[in-house]
Amino acid sequence: MYIGLDIGGSNISAGIFDEQKNLIKTAKVKSKGKSDADVILAQIFKVINKLLDSSNKNKIKAIGIGIASFVDSKSGVLNFSANINLNGINIAQEVSQKFANVPVFIENDVNVGVIGEWKYGAGRSHQNIVGIFAGTGIGGGLVVNNQFLYGVTGGAGAVGHVTINSQGAYCQSCGSQGCLEAYAGKVGIEKKIENLAKKNIHSTLIDLVMENGGKLKSSHIKKALDDQDEIAMDILSEAMEYLGTGLGSALNMIN
């Protein structure tokens, strides 16, 4: 049996699979990404333990981890993440030692997603793929001529940091200005909503987000669209326009 983890800045999702790659059970916890490293590691251990019981705990052959960060997949050390406070920590080693020295493999979450689609999903019959994952930030991965591109630091295909406006919004992830992520990522959209709220502008979406401490949830978007919130539609339309521009740039880069 095998365990897979998806570690993000907000949540950690996990699943346990049998030998035929069938998903048997899932679990989810808050990642507490801004907490101390010991707290985040405890959450990782917690979600794994939720999957284990007396019938399977001695049958785990390997654990695979996708994490929202630049990570050295060979050493298991997290090099940099803006949203998960584990920089410099050998996560693979920590998890392996906690669970009977089972082999642990770790990779950037978007890379894992693109490789998964390439090997087993929508990209199986294609030799050139651009994968875009929009969430808290915006990640990307590239397959060119049937080879996955890692780049020097493992961050090749990071379309979220394509510059849309060189004098534009500050990007909280990398510190640059005008990155796609600053306009179309969740954090960028939250910042725009916050700025509108400071101007005493109200709408369904703005009010829901600000009542939730400035954090955007998918349910807020659904409610705003159900209410035909014009401000929400403008915010989302602008984000989608920027996302389309970034995707077009990525396609042109490899075509």
Instruction: For 55-81, write each residue's pLDDT tens digit.
Output: 777 889 999 999 988 888 888 888 877
Q: What is the pLDDT of residue 82?
A: 73
Q: What is the pLDDT of residue 226?
A: 93
Q: What is the mean pLDDT of residues 88-98?
A: 93
Q: What is the average pLDDT score of the chain? A: 89
Does 169 score more than 90 pLDDT?
no
For residues 203 and 196, give the distance between their C-alpha atoms in angstroms, rounded to a whole number.
Answer: 10
Give the pLDDT band (50/70/90) at residue 17.
very high
Q: What is the pLDDT of residue 63?
A: 96
Domain definitions of the chain by residue range: 2-113, 163-254
Query: Does 2-113 match 163-254 in CATH topology?
Result: yes
CATH 3.30.420.40 holds for 163-254: yes
Does 203 score more than 90 pLDDT?
yes
Give the pLDDT band (50/70/90) at residue 114.
very high
Q: What is the pLDDT of residue 222?
A: 94
Does 42 score more than 90 pLDDT?
yes
Give the pLDDT band (50/70/90) at residue 248.
confident
Q: What is the mean pLDDT of residues 152-179?
A: 83
Give the pLDDT band (50/70/90) at residue 5.
very high
Burial class (CB in 10 A: 0-12, 13-18, 19+), 10: middle
For residues 109 and 55, give the distance between their C-alpha atoms in angstroms, rounded to a whole number.
Answer: 29
Q: What is the pLDDT of residue 73?
A: 82
Whole-model pTM: value is: 0.80
CA distances from 147 to 50, 118, 119, 150 (A): 36, 10, 11, 9
Query: So what CATH class is 2-113?
Result: alpha beta
Q: What is the mean pLDDT of residues 169-187?
A: 86
Q: What is the pLDDT of residue 34?
A: 85
Q: Give residue 199's region: left, alpha or beta (phi > 0; psi -120 to 50).
A: alpha
Sequence letter at residue 136: T
Q: What is the pLDDT of residue 254?
A: 73
